[in-house]
């Protein structure tokens, strides 16, 4: 006899399915996992890692609800190579 309330099977996804859902690079995903900002992968075998689909979907929904603020543009005057100097390239010169 089967139990009346069987626990639902959790669906897992492999790397190719994850990349179809989350267009981030492997290194970015790995670093986010290490910081606790992305669902952790787990190993099914020594050569196969997967992510829990429901955790990835929950992460995507949380990201959708709380958008990330846009990064500040770089200060090109502080570059080591080819810094942009004030008063050059089309800027009016002060005489």
**Phi/psi of residue 69, nearest 5 degrees:** -70, 145
Q: Could you read off the pLDDT of 43-94 as tens digits, one per residue?
A: 999 999 999 999 999 999 999 998 778 888 888 778 878 777 765 555 554 5
Task: Identify the pLDDT of residue 66.
Answer: 86
Query: Environment class of residue 53 by beta-carbon count within 10 Å: exposed (0-12), middle (13-18) or buried (19+)?
Result: middle
The verdict on residue 74 lying in a domain is no
83 inside domain: no
pLDDT tier at 95 (50, 70, 90 boundaries)? very low
- Name the more confident of 27 and 71: 27
Write out the residue range of the structural domain in which residue 18 sits: 12-67
Question: Of residues 4 and 94, which shows the higher confidence score?
Answer: 4
Report how many domains make up the chain: 1
Where are the extended beta strands (E) located within the chain? 12-13, 42-45, 48-52
């Amino acid at each position: 006899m089967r139990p009346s309330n069987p626990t639902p099977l959790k669906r897992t996804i492999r790397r190719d399915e994850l990349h179809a859902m989350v267009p981030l690079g492997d290194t970015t995903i790995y670093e986010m996992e290490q910081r606790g900002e992305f669902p952790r992968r787990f190993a099914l075998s020594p050569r196969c890692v997967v992510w829990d689909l429901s955790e990835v979907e929950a992460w995507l929904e949380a990201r959708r609800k709380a958008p990330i603020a846009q990064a500040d543009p770089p200060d090109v005057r502080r570059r080591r190579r080819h810094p942009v100097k004030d008063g050059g390239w089309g800027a009016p010169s002060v005489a």
